[in-house]
Amino acid sequence: MKKILSLILLFSFFAFGQDNTYVQLTYVKPVQGENYGEILNEKWKALAQKRANNGTIIGWDVWWRAGSTPESNHQIMIATLVSHPDSLNVNPGIRSVFPEMTDEEFESFSTKNTASRKIINRTMTVEKDAYFKTDSVPSMLVMNYMKVKPINAMKYEDFESSLKEGLKESAKQGWAFHKRVDAVGSGLGWNYLTADFYNNNSELMSERVPTYDYSDNDEIIKNLSLREHVWSDTYWKWISIRKEN
């Protein structure tokens, strides 16, 4: 139980404590042939570990979008977890991890990094609720993007939190509920999201294959009408960084 609680506080992709935890979501499209994956693994992973060990960030997770191709709008999502939004701007830089880098090597790395990927978008969310069964980051993630009218926001948040109790018997290994905070307005494509975590594709399919009839359940119909489920994306875990013990 202690380990599960520590997951909710510190470990998971959407970890949350007594204070607000913010997550910066960065959507990335790698450039073919430019070895962005190598740069992530050999350079940015090390810097993220340093920032986590220093307490600047809570965690840093890299997820690969399932079914994506070079033609997809993004193939990678990077989640940076912080306890304060200003912490995102506290960055000692890559040379703090690789002090032996010469000026020429640093310039070369910066040029290669810029050429290796295109940042499609960045957003920020704050966690409203979460539930996890395990003490490790599950291997699979489904992001469900929702659009909610301001007049329904509070009712919708209450509705999502009310579903948490039922997760104990579900195939999900974890669940998190987030509100978007980097932008507001009716023109946004989404302003809430839920994140469903699974160990494997079989767990996910066990929930997707069955079809349920809610036509006689007025309460469910009313609550589901509070939001529009805009779309979902599925991801596989690639890199996950937390503070080292």
Per residue, what are the HEC states of 187-228? CCCCCEEEEEEECCHHHHHHHHCCCCCCCCCHHHHHHHCCEE
Token pair, residue 189, equals: 């494509």
Of 10-24, 107-121, 199-213, the one with minimum mean pLDDT is: 10-24
Q: Is it true that 2-123 and 125-236 share their CATH fold?
A: yes
Residue 208 CB coordination number (10 Å): 10
pLDDT tens digit sequence for 172-186: 999 999 999 999 999
User: Is residue 14 predicted with pLDDT exceeding 60?
Assistant: no
User: Is residue 5 predicted with pLDDT exceeding 60?
Assistant: no
4/67: higher pLDDT: 67
- For the chain, the domains span 2-123, 125-236
Q: How far apart are the first and last CA of the chain?
A: 19
pLDDT tens digit sequence for 119-165: 999 999 999 999 999 878 899 999 999 999 999 999 999 999 999 98
What's the confidence (pLDDT) of residue 70?
Answer: 94
Q: Report how far residue 147's alpha carbon sits from residue 229's, in angstroms, rounded to the nearest whole number.
A: 7
| CATH, range 2-123 | 3.30.70.100
49, 42 Cβ separation under 8 angstroms:
no
198, 140 Cβ separation under 8 angstroms:
yes
Q: Report how far residue 16's alpha carbon sits from residue 125's, in angstroms, rounded to the nearest whole number.
A: 12
Residue 144 CB coordination number (10 Å): 17
What's the confidence (pLDDT) of residue 134?
Answer: 84
Q: Report how far residue 59's alpha carbon sits from residue 69's, in angstroms, rounded to the nearest whole number.
A: 27
Q: What is the CATH topology of the domain spanning 125-236?
A: Alpha-Beta Plaits (3.30.70)
What's the confidence (pLDDT) of residue 1?
Answer: 53
Instruction: Express as a percent the part of the chain with pLDDT over 70.
Output: 93
